[in-house]
Amino acid sequence: MKTRDRREFLKEAATALIVAELATSAPAAFAQAAGGKLKPSATDVLLVIDVQNCFVPGGTLPVKEGDAIVPLINRIARGFAHVVLTQDWHTPGHASFASTYPGKKPFETISLGYGTQVLWPDHCIQGTADAELVKELKIPHAELIIRKGYRKPIDSYSAFYEADGKTPTGLVGYLRERGLKQVFLVGLATDFCVAWSAMDARKAGFAAYVVEDATRGIDADGSLAKAWKDMLGAGVRRIQSTDLDV
């Protein structure tokens, strides 16, 4: 090989290595290189999980301090061009309600066709004030509201797939068709609907970032620590709102 060809070859090989490195660590590497913080881009989407009356103090399945994250979520949302909201939206007599099974109490579990189901108090029933989005949530530019858990025999913590792990809500198709590639998650509850949505985002091939201080957990029986272990194992990134340039 002549010196010039050799030099070209080395240069190309080095470029290929850098590109491969960026591809595995992107998009954080690109954005963070700019200002040390992650600046939401045109292909990033903020997924605001279940910020509903049912999950804040005064609701039917209240998450401790669930209301405290609303101003922070409003602020973060203003930094994102694309925002999708979710709404837990159950039928009366839903399969996830303890009241559906004589003798069962909330937070006990049962075995259903699709796996183990935690039983909850009746919550987020379609069309009730309890199921409405928290009125202090102010995200007028949100593009889509995904309702989930609306089929009586099956629960859906995740915004992407119902509890059988395969029935789609349509969100994967929506994000792909819109060219949205990185999903940032906030909302309620960290250890159930946020965690399942984040892991399903990974399963569907999206990058997933959970903004920890913009979530709150239920933490039933160690569920919060387990959820973080599972999320990190699935390649979900745990960040804080101060890591975002919003």
Where do contacts with ligand VGL occur on this chain (CB under 6 A)? Answer: 50, 55, 88, 120, 157, 188-189, 192-193
Question: What does the alpha-carbon distance between residue 58 and residue 179 come to, in Å, rounded to a whole number?
Answer: 38
Element (H, E) at 13: helix 3-25
Specify whether 193 is catalytic.
yes
- Whichever of 117 and 182 has its CB closer to ligand VGL, that residue is 117
Specify whether 148 is catalytic.
yes
Q: Is 185 helix (H, G, I), strand (E, B) or coil?
A: strand
The option from Zn ion, ligand VGL, none interacting with 50 (CB < 5 to 8 A, set by class) reads: ligand VGL
The active-site residue, picked from 44, 54, 148, 200, is: 148
- Whichever of 80 and 120 has its CB closer to ligand VGL, that residue is 120
Interface residue with Zn ion, options 44, 67, 88, 191 (CB under 5 A) = 88
User: Can you say whether the dihedral through the CA atoms of 133, 135, 139, 143 is positive or negative?
Assistant: positive
Cα angle 165-178-53, degrees, rounded to a multiple of 5: 60
Contact status, residue 198 vs residue 184, Cβ threshold 8 Å? no
Residue 226's identity, in one-letter code, is K
Contact status, residue 227 vs residue 218, Cβ threshold 8 Å? no
- Whichever of 188 and 211 has its CB closer to ligand VGL, that residue is 188
For the bound state, the minimum distance from the C-beta of residue 222 to ligand VGL, rounded and expressed in Å, comes to 16
The option from Zn ion, ligand VGL, none interacting with 228 (CB < 5 to 8 A, set by class) reads: none
For the bound state, the minimum distance from the C-beta of residue 12 to ligand VGL, rounded and expressed in Å, comes to 49
The active-site residue, picked from 67, 155, 193, 243, is: 193
The option from ligand VGL, Zn ion, none interacting with 192 (CB < 5 to 8 A, set by class) reads: ligand VGL
For the bound state, the minimum distance from the C-beta of residue 39 to ligand VGL, rounded and expressed in Å, comes to 28
Q: How many Å separate Cα 95 from the centre of its chain?
A: 23
Give the other-Cβ count within 10 Å of 17's Cβ.
10
Burial class (CB in 10 A: 0-12, 13-18, 19+), 131: buried
- Whichever of 88 and 200 has its CB closer to Zn ion, that residue is 88
Tell me the angle at which helices 195-203 and 223-233 cross, rounded to the nearest 10 degrees.
20
- Whichever of 44 and 88 has its CB closer to Zn ion, that residue is 88
Residues constituting the chain: 246
Tell me the angle at which helices 3-25 and 28-35 cross, rounded to the nearest 10 degrees.
100
162 binds Zn ion (CB under 5 A): no
The option from Zn ion, ligand VGL, none interacting with 188 (CB < 5 to 8 A, set by class) reads: ligand VGL
Q: Which residues bind Zn ion (CB under 5 A)?
A: 88
Catalytic residues: 50, 148, 193
